[in-house]
Amino acid sequence: MNRKVPLAVCFIFGVVMFIQYFSQHPTARFVYKSILDYWQIIFAFTLILGIISFVNNNISQIKRGNNTFYRIVAISGFLIMPVVALGWGIKTGSPFMWMFENVQAPMQSTVFALLAFFVASASYRGFRARSIPATILLLSALIILLSRSNIGGIFSDYLPNIADWIRNYPSMSARRAILIGIGLGSLTTSLRVIIGIERTWLGKD
Amino acid sequence: MKHLKSRHWIFLGLFLVIGITMILNVKLNVRVSPYTQKMFDYIDSLPPGSILLISFDHEASSLPEIRPLALAVLRHAFKKDLRLIGVSLLSEGTVIGYRLMQKTAKEYHKVYGKDYVYLGFRPQYVAAILSMGESLKETYPQDYLGNKYDQLNLLKSVKNYNNIDAVISIADGSLTTHWIEYGHGRYGVKILGAVTAAMVTTYDPYLASGQMYAMTGGLRGAAEYEELLKISGGGARGMLAQSSAHLYVIFLIIVGNLSYFITKRKGRK
């Protein structure tokens, strides 16, 4: 029963969504719109699940004394933002907006910017011409980097054209092959899930 | 000083290279790419009053790269007297999008509700895109500020994508793909992208096939857009930092490879 009901629900919704795509009948439109509404409602519930999981995980780690200070900061941030949003609103000049612009956004940007330092270090250590494919990759990367860094036009005008060629032919053909593979893979997996051949999403029991 | 490892010197070098270049304020020679030119030409060709839906599909972490790009596109749209509807498919992009629209609208003396509106965030991006294709009013009964849909003048003539000239997805990830697959694929709305540099090659196949109409990407795209608009902004400044970092990385790759080959030769001997 635990497996049959979800499989039946999945099959019915899969077939209904497939059929409605080809129909303009008012009933089909109504079903489609209702499913779109419920889809968003279900997703909103997953956000609640994420919140509960975040709080539970941090509280249990605090009890164990694992990174207590950082976890208190995380929970404080989690509590403060909704409180100030509910208390003073989210308009310009509100404490919520101030905290978002002066605390959250700069912190996230700073963490993201650290990537540049790691890329610089990795380029020195890892980007080596050890084989012919590695050398081709290295040369392509150098051309792309140079074409994107044309300070004062110090490099040749041909450089952006070569970089565009790399982007439009070798890079795009590889990307297209990947996209077609993903598309075919998604299609077959969806069909297997709808028909009930693929059951791993149900869990073990 | 003796505790410093090679990677620490590399970090210090990067900091100095970017810092010095920014202080010297080297003049950039920006060559406008055909990609950015197409995006600019499309927005420029729209008659005043045309409606664009701007989707802020990014997070705060990519703000230094996304902000100049978003500002350039918004400035162009307001300068051309286009009407803008702002939405966000990521919760973090909601506040950012609202602030960016508010800032640029103020510069061009635009009125909220008449020249632009901000509808805010809706969860589950695929469902939100499909739902807007059916009815914008049912997807967003209220705007971000709590005003009812029917109270906003701009929205009175907007039912769904049929009443919108194009969607511009300002994104740092793959959300533009969903706009292409569901917005364009199912409802035929024109999709334009203003994306981070790392995502540009992801969208190249869609651009070449015409599923995506135009795209501009990264700080370079922002700098090019600023060049076309003849304004100075964060794009050119950011491009300066990025270019100097690129040159530094190229230098490190060359030094790394030279030391690799020298070590290899010594090993053979």
- Confidence check: pLDDT of A205 > 70: no
Q: Which pLDDT score, from 0 to 100, does residue B3 have?
A: 65
Per residue in B89-98, pLDDT (tens digit) is 998 889 999 9
pLDDT in tens, B187-220: 999 999 999 999 999 999 999 999 999 999 999 9
pLDDT of A152 above 60: no
List, for residues A183-200, the tens digit of each pLDDT value: 999 999 999 999 999 988
Give B194's strand partners: B170, B216
Tell me what the mean pLDDT of segment A76-93 comes to.
Answer: 89
Q: pLDDT tens digits for A98-137? A: 998 899 889 998 998 899 899 899 988 888 888 999 999 9
* Whether the predicted pLDDT of A80 surpasses 80: yes
Residues with Cβ within 8 Å of residue A104, at least 6 apart in sequence: A77, A81, B60
What is the 3-state composition of chain A as percent helix, strand, coil, each rounded to the nearest 5? 80, 0, 20
Which distant-in-sequence residues (6+ apart) come within 8 Å of A68 by Cβ?
A61, A62
B219 and B30 Cβ atoms separated by less than 8 Å = no
Of A109, A149, A157, the CB nearest to B63: A109
- CB contacts under 8 A, B 190-229 vs A, are 197, 200-202, 204-205, 208, 220
| Contact present, B161 and B135 (Cβ < 8 Å) | no
* Contact flag A124-B33 (C-beta cutoff 8 Å): no
SS3 A124: helix
The pLDDT of residue A154 is above 70: no
Query: Is the sign of the CA dihedral A61, A66, A72, A74 positive or negative?
Result: negative
In angstroms, the Cα distances linking A159 to A164, B58, B140, B214, B239 are: 9, 31, 47, 23, 17
Cα nearest neighbour of A89 on chain B:
B145
Cβ-defined contact of A92 to B99 (cutoff 8 Å):
yes
Distance from CA of A75 to the nearest CA of B (A): 18
Residues 21-50 of B with CB under 8 A from A: 21, 26-29, 31, 33
Collapsing DSSP states into helix, strand and coil, what is residue A157?
coil
What pTM was estimated for this model as a whole?
Answer: 0.90
Of B202, B240, B249, the CB nearest to A119: B249
Nearest to B101 by CA among B121, B113, B84: B84
Q: Quick one: average pLDDT of B65-80?
A: 96
Map tokens 């299609």 to a residue.
Answer: A187
B78 vs B50: CA distance, rounded Å: 11
Contact (CB, 8 A) for B49 and B81: yes
Q: What is the pLDDT of residue B2?
A: 64
Roughly what angle, to the nearest 10 degrees, separates helices B234-268 and B6-24?
150
- Report chain A residues whose CB lies below 8 A from the CB of B124: 39-40, 42-43
Q: How many residues does chain A have?
A: 205
Say whether the ipTM exceeds 0.90.
Answer: no
Q: What is the largest CA-CA distance in chain B?
A: 82
State how far Cα A166 lies from the chain centre. Answer: 27
How many other C-beta atoms can be found within 10 angstroms of the C-beta atom of residue A18?
A: 12
Taken in order of first residue, the domains within chain B and their CATH numbers are 31-237 (3.40.50.620)
CB contact under 8 A, B201 and A172: yes
Whole-number Å distance between alpha carbons of A89 and A77: 17
